[in-house]
């Protein structure tokens, strides 16, 4: 494999063929599918936020066998694994922190495969190829005078792979819902402590009394108009939170045009049929990912219904394995989502900076492990609390 393998770097997802690329994407990593990445590029979202694609690819003959999609960055916004303190420390020391390289899906704090491999490769072959892809990326970074390379929201085995190439591991956490073979939403509620069961039933009952009609839309039920409806919801959320809206209307339109088979929309309608709020979600096989939420009017508990309960309903009905609802999440924790570790890896070119950050991360990892254990020991899920 080594003798006729060619590793190169390209700078646009538009150069690639979806069938060729998507063959390498595992089922739990749908945000690495080419249609999603092309949507971010073609809509102008990544260009506006200074994400410059640096796509490391490996071919055996004419066959694509490995991909490591990365980005050249001038800031850290839209990454969700925060390194602003590192950047400030570099600045105080008179050392440039930007540009840097980030291996992640822009604006998407979701765990997934960062290294995409031909599924026919053995684990050993994947490891060797992964090291070669990383070496090419590090070489590119050195030529571009970047400060560092960051692999965010990667899988645990990818963190181990990167450690063998000199990367320092980092740990954070999110909240995910796991299907334990539930037959109904009530079946799921029986796994929670009494006060949480009562609270969730009350929240759902109150939504039922509002007169709102809530739809769950997939496939051909999703129409062109839904792109504009949900973009307005998305804009409304960011204007209220004073956050930066990374995505534009064209991105939502492209997702309906090219990625509709991965969309699951939860839409709340007023009694007169006008859209009021909803959640924009993605799914593939056994995995469901909540991404964007918004509402033009405040209705108590509507967020929980659209972003959590309806997704759990759908996952149970379709025997899906897991529901993820993005970053942050005290609300998720209280509604039966488990606290789980999230992995990232970091390579610092500056020797002294690397030593300081690695030392910091060792302490942070221990703290995060204790945090995860503490959260789950107080979980509303009885088996976690008791175990």
pLDDT tens-digit series, residues 263-284 = 999 999 999 999 999 999 999 9
Per-residue pLDDT, 350: 95
The average pLDDT across 312-321 equals 98
Mean local confidence (pLDDT), 23-40: 98
Average pLDDT estimate for 158-183? 97
In this predicted structure, the answer to whether residue 116 has a pLDDT above a threshold of 60 is yes
CB 162 within 8 A of CB 337: no
Question: Residue 166: phi, psi to the nearest 5?
Answer: 90, 10
Dig out the tokens for 128 from the structure.
Answer: 């060797």
- Tokens coding 186: 């009530």
CA pair distance 326, 351, nearest whole angstrom: 34
pLDDT above 60 for 23 = yes
Q: What is the mean pLDDT of residues 328-336?
A: 86
Instruction: Tell me the mean pLDDT in the region 346-359.
Output: 96
Question: Which residue intervals of the chain bear CATH 3.40.630.30?
Answer: 5-173+341-377, 180-320
Question: For 195-242, how does the pLDDT look when each residue is reduced to its tens digit (9 = 90+)?
Answer: 999 999 999 999 999 999 999 999 999 999 999 999 999 998 765 555
Peptide bond into 99 cis (omega under 30): yes
Per-residue pLDDT, 244: 72
- Tokens matching residue 121: 């490769």
Give the best-scoring range by mean pLDDT among 275-279, 329-333, 381-385: 275-279
| Band of pLDDT at residue 387, cut at 50, 70 and 90 | low
Q: With CA atoms as reference, report the closest residue to 189 among 175, 208, 173, 203.
A: 203
Task: Determine how β-strand 51-60 pairs with β-strand 5-10.
Answer: antiparallel
Residue 174 near residue 185, CB atoms below 8 Å = no
* Structure tokens that stand for 304 in this block: 């929980």
Q: Is the predicted pLDDT of residue 329 greater than 90, yes or no? A: no
How many C-beta atoms surround the C-beta of residue 174 within 10 A? 23
Confidence at residue 238, expressed as pLDDT on a 0 to 100 scale: 64
**Which of 205, 173, 207 lies closest to 189, judged by CA?**
205
Q: CA-CA distance, 32 to 13, in Å (whole number)?
A: 11
pLDDT at 40 over 90: yes
Q: Across residues 321-348, what is the average pLDDT?
A: 91
Superfamily of domain 180-320: Gcn5-related N-acetyltransferase (GNAT) (3.40.630.30)
117 to 40, 166, 178, 343: CA distances (angstroms)? 22, 21, 26, 19
CATH no. for 5-173+341-377: 3.40.630.30
Going by C-alpha positions, the residue among 56, 68, 75, 167 that lies closest to residue 116 is 68
Does residue 1 carry a pLDDT above 50? no
pLDDT of residue 328: 73
Q: How confident is the model at residue 69 (pLDDT cuts 50, 70, 90)?
A: very high
């Amino acid at each position: 494999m080594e003798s006729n393998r060619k590793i190169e770097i390209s700078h646009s997802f538009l150069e690639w063929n979806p069938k060729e690329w998507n063959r390498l994407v595992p089922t739990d990593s749908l945000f690495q599918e080419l249609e999603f990445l092309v949507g971010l590029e073609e809509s102008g979202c990544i260009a506006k936020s200074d994400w410059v694609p640096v796509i490391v690819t490996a071919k055996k003959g004419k066959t694509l066998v490995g991909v490591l999609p990365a980005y050249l960055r001038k800031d850290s916004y839209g990454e969700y694994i925060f390194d602003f303190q590192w950047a400030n420390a570099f600045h105080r020391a008179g050392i440039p922190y930007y540009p840097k390289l980030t291996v992640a899906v822009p604006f998407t704090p979701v765990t997934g495969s960062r290294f995409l491999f031909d599924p026919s490769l053995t684990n050993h072959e994947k490891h060797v190829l992964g090291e070669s892809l990383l070496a090419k990326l590090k070489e590119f970074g050195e030529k571009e005078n970047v400060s560092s390379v960051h692999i965010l929201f990667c899988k645990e085995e990818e963190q181990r792979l990167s450690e063998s190439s000199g990367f320092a591991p980092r740990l954070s956490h999110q909240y995910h819902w796991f299907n334990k073979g539930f037959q109904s939403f009530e079946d799921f509620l029986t796994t929670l402590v009494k006060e949480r069961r009562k609270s969730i039933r009350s929240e759902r009952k109150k939504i039922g009394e509002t007169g709102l009609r809530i739809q769950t839309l997939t496939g051909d039920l999703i129409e062109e108009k839904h792109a504009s409806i949900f973009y307005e919801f998305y804009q409304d959320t960011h204007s209220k939170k004073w956050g930066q809206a990374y995505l534009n209307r064209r991105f939502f339109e492209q997702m309906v045009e090219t990625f509709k088979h991965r969309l699951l929309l939860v839409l709340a309608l007023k009694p007169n049929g006008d859209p009021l709020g909803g959640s924009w979600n993605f799914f593939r096989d056994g995995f469901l990912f909540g991404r964007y939420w918004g509402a033009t009017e405040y209705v108590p508990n509507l967020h929980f219904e659209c972003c959590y309960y309806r997704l759990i309903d759908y996952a149970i009905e379709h025997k899906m394995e897991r529901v993820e609802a993005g970053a942050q999440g005290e609300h998720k924790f209280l509604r039966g989502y488990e606290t789980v570790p999230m992995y990232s890896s970091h390579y610092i070119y500056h020797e002294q900076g690397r030593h300081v950050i690695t030392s910091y991360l060792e302490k942070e990892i221990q703290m995060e492990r204790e945090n995860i254990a503490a959260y789950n020991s107080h979980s509303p899920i009885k088996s976690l609390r008791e175990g």
